[in-house]
Amino acid sequence: MGKVYAELDERLRKFIARQPMFFVATAPRETAAGDGGHVNVSPKGYRDTFAVLGPLTVAYVDLTGSGSETIAHLRQNGRITIMFCSFGKQAKILRIYGRGRVVLPDSPDWPALAARFSLNGTRGANRRDRRAIIVVEADRIADSCGYAVPRMKLTEERDLLEQLAEQKSPEEHIAYRAEKNAVSIDGLPSLD
């Protein structure tokens, strides 16, 4: 059965460290008329792009991708849920609910935050395709059984995003983000 935790204790931190991926969910705020936008759920990989900063604070490196929903939604309302789902022997799902903020590479907070990530080669906060660090202050931490989640084995991390990033210059990354990541699919500003 599920349990609510006061903080990310050592056992939960070890569980997080063992997971090769996590999921991020955000949604735009509804209008007074009840209109809303699209709920977004994004899978995230590369173990060395997630860090537990404190008992109630986590962060991850947001890499350049095809969309910018998470950033747009956080700028609009700050709500975010991060889910870790064990595909290994232990059946468990851990959700971190909270408020997130976007830290861009030119922010004064960037160097200290970037230093918190384990860097493996060009991964983590030194990657060319990093566009932000998302910092989340948890207001609820809860687990659930995960009994229906299948057991799977990780064969390897994909390096396709890394390969694409290395093919572009810093200027090309900036141009790509300006074209593809300036607004969300609902027209909300994200990277401006």
What is the pLDDT at residue 123? Answer: 47
CATH number at residue 153: 2.30.110.10
Instruction: Judge whether 192 lies within some domain.
Output: no
pLDDT digits (tens, 9 = 90+) for 79-127: 999 999 999 999 999 999 999 999 998 999 999 998 888 644 444 445 6
Instruction: Judge whether 187 lies within some domain.
Output: no
Instruction: Judge whether 134 lies within some domain.
Output: yes
What is the pLDDT at residue 191? Answer: 82
Instruction: Judge whether 42 lies within some domain.
Output: yes
pLDDT digits (tens, 9 = 90+) for 161-180: 777 778 888 788 778 888 88
What is the pLDDT at residue 166? Answer: 80
What is the pLDDT at residue 121? Answer: 47
73 versus 46: the higher-pLDDT residue is 73
What is the pLDDT at residue 160? Answer: 78
Instruction: Judge whether 152 lies within some domain.
Output: yes
The model's confidence at residue 37, banded by pLDDT at 50, 70 and 90, is confident
Distance CA 103, CA 110 (A): 7
56-75 mean pLDDT: 92
Among residues 89, 95, 92, the alpha carbon closest in space to that of 25 is found at 95
Instruction: Judge whether 190 lies within some domain.
Output: no
What is the pLDDT at residue 128? Answer: 66
Supply the range of the domain harboring residue 53. Answer: 3-29+37-180
Instruction: Judge whether 188 lies within some domain.
Output: no
The model's confidence at residue 8, banded by pLDDT at 50, 70 and 90, is very high
Counted domains in the chain = 1
Instruction: Judge whether 189 lies within some domain.
Output: no
The model's confidence at residue 131, banded by pLDDT at 50, 70 and 90, is confident
